[in-house]
Structure 1
Amino acid sequence: MEAVKLLEKKKKLDWEYDEEADVLYLSFGKPRKAVGVDIGEGVVVRYDEQRGEVVGLTILGIRSKLGQHLGKRS
């Protein structure tokens, strides 16, 4: 079984932040059909099954996640 190409360089990174829902969407390369895999702690990996590549991430509650870490730096 071929390993998932997680570390392969991506040519393009697009992102969108939904402030009302506090969700960050990251897409690697051109948008394409993918399945979402919930890996826990509010992170969903978008995965192209045919190519064996991660094509994006969805991070729920990103503001609170960052706040927990950034607040510790003071």
Structure 2
Amino acid sequence: MSEFYKFFSHKQCEYFPCHKTDDPDNFNCLFCFCPLYLKGAECGGNFRYTEKGVKDCSQCMFPHERKNYTKMMEKLRQK
């Protein structure tokens, strides 16, 4: 079974990569807007809250790492 659906890299995007990375060939754009954002502190990523209470995910690479597709899907299934 093909697993191409687990990874997409849009290197022509004007924002690519949207996070600093040492491995742009494995930067996954599939979750361009992280669906775990709304899980707040339960997302499992590397985030912080700003002084105004806004969740800042600019240092988080979790959804963009090729190896994390399955973990992302598991997190999305959690209630």
Fold match (TM-score > 0.5): no
TM-score (norm 2): 0.30
Structure whose alpha-carbon radius of gyration is higher: 1
Give the number of the structure whose residues are more often helix, by fraction.
Answer: 2
Give the number of the structure whose residues are more often strand, by fraction.
Answer: 1
